[in-house]
Amino acid sequence: MTAELIDRLRAEITAGPVLGPGDDGFADEVAAQNTAVRHAPDVAVGISSEQDAAAVVRIAASAGVPVRVLATGHGSAVPVADGILVTTRRLGGVSIDVSRRIAQIGAGCRWAEVIAAAAGHGLAPVAGASDNVGCIGYTTGGGLGPLARTFGFSSDWARSFRLVTADGEVRTASAEENPDLFWALRGGKSGFGIVTSMDFELVPLSTLYAGTLFFDADQIARAFGAWVDWTKTLPETATSSAIILRLPPLEVIPEPLRGKTVLGVRFAYVGEGAGRASAGGGETAAGTAGRDLAREGERLLQPMRDVATVLIDSVQDMPASRIADIHNDPRDPGPGWDRGQLLTDLDADFVNTFLGVAGPDQQVPFVAIEIRHLGGAVARDVPEGSAVGGRGAAYTLILIGVPDPALFDTVLPPAAEALLAPLQPWISPEHNVNYAGGLTVPGSYEACWPAEIFQRLAEIRSTYDPTGVFPYGPPER
């Protein structure tokens, strides 16, 4: 069956490889950013056009073979073990319509390409913390970046998608055309088709006051408690997160942080003139400029600078094109394990409980434990509605495991459960699919959306993919 399938695909795919497991280049074609996940589909197809995507889907549907999609592989948590794996990295390219502030983004693009293309026009995408992440998978899950309180979920800024649905047809999904699919793709994640491109509205933003304050281990308790209180005073134009890092003694790490457990307080301020677009993509002010931006940013951040001794202070004026410097996430492929939750409002009891299970005196197998402040624009849905889950949460929590695959199945899951158990009073009943990790915890997938949204997503999938060409959800589904 596989040999026949490969022959049919090679006869119709106009460009890009069609590879079986024994072919040269197969392993590279299916490699993910998370190297702990090794995909082993029956066939890998590298598409370079919508026509190729449509051909793959038609052939798969007629053969009763499932189709899954791989772009950068940042979201890969569970190996693909059968069917066709479509890789979209060859669907690149970014074009900017300056007058409309719209970026047309190919499915294979990473945020770095969009940021660079927009920066020359004084524009910026509402992107993620890492500019190395693929745009499409991130956006269809919602996307909470370092400007989330000001501009909301990244998916709120998607204006249309092009995709191939299970019948092999190329469709546009927007507020005017196939609006049910558009609603679903802004937060519903997967199971609707192969997205080939996205139109994404940009914001006029050229400068930030942003960076990170680092505190040594003996200052963490004081600084973290102050951070929780401080977040309740911030305007929507400021977004912050706090992260406990357990850093190895490697030379690539700055000497003041090397081999230490530290707290990083990340901060991004865009200016008092910035805000959400209006219905239909209205005007957004560019924000406070120049010295006014820095002066107001300094005023807002000063309580955190004063609360404890700062080990490193990198907060400064920076071009919006350097937004990825705030989180400074790794860019090279490597093994990864994470587990996320959303949180309700935090208080002094949370601070004490959290430090008791995750603070610097605890021995836990997590290199990073991060909490991001939400609210503001995150809490407001777009006028036409969207499927994204988690708008009512106040904070996020994510655990990043020690990057040793030997720990991923046996050590990290029970360690995560032990850490999260005392935090249950603050864990939100809402969840978000981009924070759900491998979806191996029973019920975690269903919890990514309110029940009525989950049901509507299932109905839309059934309408556009009645035979289940595009699998979705946890591994057992």
Tell me, yes or no, whether 470 lies in a domain: no
For 212, how many CA atoms within 13 A lie in the half-sphere containing its CB?
A: 24
Q: What is the CATH number of the domain that holds 44?
A: 3.30.43.10
pLDDT at 78: 81
Per-residue pLDDT tens over the stretch 326-342: 999 988 899 999 999 99
Q: In 3-state terms, what secondary structure has residue 207? A: strand
Phi, psi of 303 (to 5 degrees): -55, -35
Residue 404 CB-half CA count within 13 A: 9
240 and 382 both lie in a single domain: yes
d(CA 191, CA 465): 8
Q: Residue 284: its pLDDT value, please?
A: 45
Report the alpha-carbon distance of residue 118 to residue 102 in Å, rounded.
9
Q: Are residues 326 and 236 in the same domain?
A: yes
Partners of 164 in the β-ladder: 170, 194
CB of 118 within 8 A of CB of 95?
no
What is residue 444's DSSP assignment? Answer: T
Task: Look at residues 146, 143, 246 and name the one whose alpha carbon lies nearest to residue 200.
Answer: 143
428 and 291 housed in the same domain: yes
103 vs 389: CA distance, rounded Å: 25
**pLDDT score, position 289:** 57
Predicted pLDDT of residue 278: 39
Q: Which of 187, 203, 219 is the last residue of a domain?
A: 203
- φ, ψ at 191 (rounded to 5°): 90, 15
| Domains in the chain, number | 3
Task: Verify that 63 and 126 share a domain, yes or no.
Answer: no
Longest dimension (CA), the chain: 68
**pTM for the full model?**
0.94
Do 147 and 33 belong together in one domain?
no
The residue among 60, 87, 114 that closes a domain is: 87
Question: Is the domain of 215 the same as that of 187?
Answer: no
Of 223, 239, 285, which is closest to residue 396 (Cα–Cα)?
239
> Token pair 């907060």 is at which residue?
315
Q: Is residue 459 assigned to a domain?
A: no
CA dihedral (198, 201, 202, 204) in degrees, to 10, reads 170
**Are 143 and 279 in a shared domain?**
no
Q: Do 248 and 187 belong together in one domain?
A: no
User: Looking at the structure, do residues 60 and 136 belong to the same domain, yes or no?
Assistant: no
Same domain, 315 and 342: yes
Q: Which CATH number belongs to the domain containing residue 102 in this structure?
A: 3.30.465.10
Residues 222 and 351 in one domain: yes
Judge contact between 382 and 156, C-beta under 8 A.
yes
Q: Note whether 441 and 412 are within 8 A (CB).
A: no
Tell me, yes or no, whether 461 lies in a domain. Answer: no
Residue 66 lies in a domain: yes
**Could you tell me the CATH number of the domain that includes residue 275?**
3.40.462.20
Between CA 296 and CA 288 the distance in angstroms is 9
454 in a structural domain:
no
The answer for residues whose C-beta is within 8 angstroms of residue 155's C-beta and 6 or more apart is: 139, 140, 141, 142, 143, 185, 186, 187, 386, 388
- Same domain? 222 vs 361: yes
Q: What pLDDT does residue 1 have?
A: 60
DSSP string, 152-204: --GGGGEEEEEEE-TTS-EEEEESSSSHHHHHHHTT--SSS-EEEEEEEE-EE
Expressed as residue numbers, the domain containing 368 is: 207-447
Residue 456 lies in a domain: no
**Residue 146 corresponds to which tokens in the numbers above?**
């370092």
Boundary (domain end) residue, out of 87, 109, 128: 87
Residue 386 domain flag: yes
pLDDT in tens, 358-412: 999 999 999 999 999 999 999 999 999 999 999 999 999 999 999 999 999 999 9
Q: Which residues of the chain have pLDDT under 50?
A: 277-288, 477
Instruction: Establish if 472 belongs to a structural domain.
Output: no
Structure tokens, 410? 């046996």
Q: Would strands 43-46 and 18-19 be described as parallel, antiparallel, or unpaired?
A: antiparallel
